[in-house]
Structure 1
Amino acid sequence: MTWEFGAFRLDPERFELTFSSERVRVEPQVLAMLIHLVRNRNRLVSRDELAEAVWDGAAVSDASISSRIRSVRAAVGDNGVRQQVIRTIHGRGFRFLPDVSGDPPARPKVREPDVGAQPPRTGRPSIAVLPLTPLAVDAEYAILADAIPHEIIQALSRLRWLSVTARGSSFRFRQAAPDVDLAATALGVRYVLSGVIEASGGNLSVTLELTDGASAEVIWGERLTAAVEEIDDLRHRIVVHIIAALEIVVPAAEAQLALRTGAERFDAWANYHIGLRHLYRFTASDNAAARHHFECAARLDPSLARAQAGLSFTSFLDAFLRIAPDVPAAVAASRAHAERGLELDPLDPFVTFTMGRSHWLTHDLEGARQWLSRATVLNPNFAQGFYASAFTSMLLGDPKATTTELETALALSPLDPLLYGMHGVRAQMLVQQGDYPEAARWAERAASTSGAHYLIAMIAVVACGLAGEHDHASRWRREVRRRKPDASSRDYFNAFPSRDIASRSVIAAELRRHGF
């Protein structure tokens, strides 16, 4: 997005003003004010609105606003007498006058106490990662104030659902106490990640905050500490924590805001995020609601690969949980939507993940492993990709790979919505290895985790029964019947088509003993 007027070119995303291709040096506040005036050039902009947009509504004198207006005029070759670029309407505000080519002006960013009254945020979520502020850090470690955010930007750039501002733009906000709201306004992003790095007693600590640019609300925070000799581990942990947090926090925030603005204002991405909100509840009604929103997203934006991935996921659940009246049709739909998603974006790890999962439904475990491996190559911080790979390794009877992939998934996302599945895979692997007491411990932990469905409770029935914990097994059998009265061993083996023949016989016998 760029705007051109005369020989000037204003690029709000790069946070840059040029004249005849030469960069014009201006202070960040001055450039933010110019961006706001150009963005809202079709109307009068009041002094109060400028204070809100540029100074975050903080108390600011008329003299300060007038000083910045003079600096804006100087940057674009205007002055208070000629006023050919910015006209002052005394007592009311300012107007940007020249004709501008480029994208149409956006609505003004003015905070209201009622979020529902605000214009809806549309399109893909966006984020800027600011340099860290160093506090009492030796010169040899001060470089981490730039290096860590740079690594975060590189990792976030792999997330196809999130737009990440380039370092060249976000690193312009290098201040002792960066103005997060100014950065959000100037860079045109919804979220800003900022923080500090400090040294104390031989340790380095990094404190991070994720701020919603529209509400100025901190929606996530984390503090990580390590000894100075463990800097590399600290850097890795920071990136992992950021990716895991954003995969959960941002979609939830996007869905919540969309719901408060009203269904008639949902765009494709709003529908997608609301679909995700339902997707991980694993009930027939929520799966249907998720499908509805993914279908709306696909209709509003036929090029949105993630809408197809969401539809593949809902079809997968229809088949995996046997909640669809026509399971073969659900299996086919899961594959078809994944294929369409890959046509639209072959580099999206979530789309690739859904393709891998669709291969489970046809018991093509080798095909599943290849697609899931590709998903984790595309995004090495993709926790669900590692979980699905662990599931596949368990079915193939590879305990070493199962353990490694599960530990990676848990390290990446300890609060993942598929956490019950991670524990369930571990329990199933332990059953196959004959370690029934440990299998029972993990199975009960899995079945007690939020989101766990009836198949996870069936693992608990098997593991507890084989471990001799018959009261526990009976309790989980009743839970299975409550959730799915017609559950059977066929459902179990369709979901977990293990290649370990010996353990399959043991599991089948235990299921029969409990009436499945």
Structure 2
Amino acid sequence: MAWTFGDFHLDPDGFQLARHGVAVPLEPQVLALLIHLVRHHDRMVSKDEVVEAVWHGRAVSDASISSRIRSVRQALDDDGARQEMIQTVHGRGFRFVAKVTTTMPACVLHGAPTIEPPEQIFGKPSIAILPFRPLGLEPTLAVFAEAIPHEIIEALSRLRWLAVIARGSSFRFREGEADMDMVTKALSARYVLAGIIECRGTGLAVTLELVDAKSRQVLWADRLESQLDEMDELRSRIVAHLVAALETHIPFNEARVAELNKLEDLDAWANYHVGLRHLYRFTTADTEQALTCFERAVASDPTFARAHAGLSFTSFLSAFLRLDPDRPAAVRATRHHAERAMEFDALDPFANFTMGRSFWLTDEPEVAAEWLSRATALNPNYAQGFYASAFTAMLIGDAAATTAALDTSLHLSPLDPLLYGVHGVRAQMLMQLEDYEAAAGWADRAAAQPGAHYLIGMIALVANGLADRHERTGSLGQDIRRRKPDATAADYFTAFPTRDVKSRARIAAELARQGF
């Protein structure tokens, strides 16, 4: 519902006060106080009730209450002398005395509620990073409650797919003074990141919580600790850990919400996120569904760089996994769509990522490495970019670079949808180093990951065969033939065109021994 009084219109759901149709700027606590007074205009509101409603029971002084009441009166052109809007009941509380007219929600008609359709989401997802709530911190350490969120805002601002509420707006909400309703309505954020920073003996602990502002569902939470003399390292860990988590959890949630609506009703961003969700399932049907979503996104917004990059990704999968019988056409499409993505946003890490991977398909790993390096430079916390860099280094035979990039990728995103690839690349590199026992262990871990495709199974087959784990190769071979009846050694070397001649010969011999 909403209320009108005098020249004013107060919308609690929209968290806005307007006068003659023009929004009146108010501090969140002031607006929350006004809403509570108007909602209960038929009675006196006690001071204790004001404290509970605005400060959630936290101890505050009478001066703080008086300050917020004075701000409400100023916004309404009222004052303590006239008290035409807000009347003070001395020593007890306040009463809203202006005549209030209530407007019922539009969904209640003829006395019967109607069922509302699922809420549609439009545009780029947005997030508000709130100052952390300090617990038991000395004044010299309390600065980290704002310093760390500020660094997070700067890091997230590099992401091209996420809108980050400016520090000047989000930092108006301090020390848990505002509840989630107040924050989301005031900032129009789809997601909120809150945190607590507290002393733990000789160190600090930071607890993070990512919340869906609409459903109030906690999508992700974590806790990181550090000694006081390692604060710089803790700050960098928090930023890196968080960016990688958001890359996974927000797109997944965006797709989940969007799928409640009809595909044809979604905007470009919603179609993009649904496409991503299908993309990472790595099946023929899901790749085709992802293609449809990205095509709809491009049709809705022809300059949407990430949608073009998504089309490049689907074409890459068609070529890499041989889902398209016309592989040369899929290779050309991979490059074409990546170029279009770069044309519209050359600074998007995902666009650079897809451009780099297009050079895998043409056996140009040195060129791929340059594009992938650019992707991770644009976003130093881009886990998939580091994974792709590791793959490229593996093709060239640079074991040190492969290991370093894989470790970075795994550190940034331990639950990444491409985790099967991270472990598979490590296994492939270990085979080139002739450490077959370790290769088999990593290959088995890769094959057990969600989304692992038949080529990962072939890596596990070869690694186990070279490690003389013959009891394992039988089941792996059956699974590969079930998933890809026409799989051959040529498929393996097309996907993994490594430069190491000796390891290629050993792998080819093992594949032949297993009937491929």
TM-score, normalised to structure 2's length? 0.82
Partner Cα separation in structure 2 for residue 323 and residue 176 of structure 1: 52
| Distance (Å, rounded) in 1 between the aligned partners of 2:114 and 2:228 | 46
- 2:48 corresponds in structure 1 to none
Which residue in the other structure is 1:90 paired with? Answer: 100
Aligned residue for 1:209, secondary structure, equals strand
Indicate how the Cα distance of structure 1 residues 131 and 292 shifts in structure 2: closer, same or farther if over 3 A, else same.
Answer: same
Residue 353 of structure 2: SS of its match in structure 1?
helix
Question: In the alignment, what sits opposite 1:42?
Answer: none
| Gap change, CA 1:275 and 1:500, over 3 Å in 2 | same
Equivalence map 1:206-225=2 (5 Å): 206-225=206-225
User: How far 1:304 sits from its partner (Å)?
Assistant: 1.0
Does residue 243 of structure 2 align to residue 243 of structure 1?
yes
Aligned to 1:163: 163
1:115 and 1:335 map into 2 onto residues whose CA distance is 46
* Native 8 Å contact 1:185 1:213 kept in 2: no
| Alignment correspondent of 2:482 | 482
Moved more, 195-204 or 399-408: 195-204
Cα-to-partner distance string for 1:380-412 (whole Å, 9 max, x where unaligned): 000000000000000000000000000000000
Does the Cα contact within 8 Å between 1:424 and 1:443 map onto a contact in 2?
yes
Identity percentage of aligned residues:
59
Aligned residue in 1 for 2:444: 444
Q: Could you tell me which residue of structure 1 aligns to residue 324 of structure 2?
A: 324
Supply the AA of the counterpart residue of 1:341.
A
Taking a change above 3 Å as real, the CA distance of residues 214 and 404 of structure 1, as seen in their structure-2 partners, is: same
Which residue identity lines up with residue 233 of structure 1 in the other structure? E
Q: Deviations over 1:4-35 (max 9, x none)?
A: xxxxxxxxxxx999xxxxxx99532335799x
> Which sits farther off after the overlay, 313-322 or 230-239?
230-239
SS of alignment partner, residue 281 of structure 1: coil
Deviation, 1:180, is 2.6
C-alpha distance in 1 between matches for 2:492 and 2:234: 42
Distance 1:115 1:241, change over 3 A: farther
- The one-character-per-residue Cα deviations of 1:200-257 (angstroms, maximum 9, x if unpaired) are 2112111111111112222221111122222222212211221121111111111111
DSSP-derived class of the 2:209 partner: strand
**How many equivalent pairs are there?**
458
Task: Show CA shifts across 1:87-135 (max 9, x none).
Answer: 97634159xxxxxxxxxxxx9xxxxx99963541210000010000110
Which residue pairs with 1:141 in the alignment? 141
| CA pair 276-116 structure 1, distance change in 2 beyond 3 A | farther
Measured after TM superposition, the shift of residue 175 of structure 1 is 2.8
**Inter-partner Cα distance in structure 1 for 2:115 and 2:428:** 46
How many angstroms apart in 2 are the aligned matches of 1:451 and 1:332?
25
SS at 1:205's partner residue?
strand
**How far apart, in 2, do the equivalents of 1:345 and 1:250 lie?**
21
Residues 1:336 and 2:341 are matched in the alignment:
no
1:129/1:194 contact within 8 Å kept: yes
TM-score (norm 1): 0.82
Q: Which amino acid aligns with 2:267?
A: D
Aligned to 1:305: 305
Larger radius of gyration: 2
Matches of 2:33 and 2:189, distance apart in 1:
16
CA distance 1:116–1:68, shift in 2 (3 Å): farther
Change (3 A) 1:440 1:297: same
Over 3 Å counting, the alpha-carbon distance change for 1:114 and 1:120 in structure 2 is farther
Let me know the Cα RMSD of the aligned residues.
3.3
Is this contact kept in 2: 1:127–1:165, CA < 8 A? yes
Separation of aligned partners in 2, 1:193 and 1:254: 16
Aligned equivalents of 1:81 and 1:235: distance in 2? 51
1:472 positional shift: 1.0
**Structure 2 counterpart of 1:146, one-letter code:** E
- Which secondary structure does the structure 2 equivalent of 1:204 belong to? strand
Structure 2 counterparts to residues 389-428 of structure 1, below 5 A: 389-428=389-428
| CA deviation after TM superposition for structure 1 residue 47, in Å | 4.2
Indicate if the aligned counterparts of 1:47 and 1:92 stay in contact, CA closer than 8 A: no
Residue matched to 1:123: 123
1:303 CA drift (Å): 1.6
Q: Distance in 1 between matches of 2:377 and 2:313?
A: 20
Distance 2:273 2:473 in 1: 37
CA–CA distance in 2 between the matches of 1:266 and 1:176?
Answer: 35
In the alignment, the residues of structure 2 paired with residue 454 and residue 114 of structure 1 have an alpha-carbon distance, to the nearest angstrom, of 49
Question: Is contact 2:204–2:227 with CA below 8 Å preserved after alignment?
Answer: yes
Comparing 334-343 with 220-229, which one deviates more in the overlay?
Answer: 220-229
Contact 1:115 1:260 in 2 (8 A): no
Deviations 1:311-341 (CA, angstroms, capped at 9, x unpaired):
0000000000001021111100010000000
Report SS of the residue matched to 2:389: helix
1:309/1:351 contact within 8 Å kept? yes
Residue 360 of structure 2 aligns to a residue whose secondary structure is: helix
Report Cα offsets for 1:334-360 as digits up to 9, x if no partner.
100000001111111011100000110
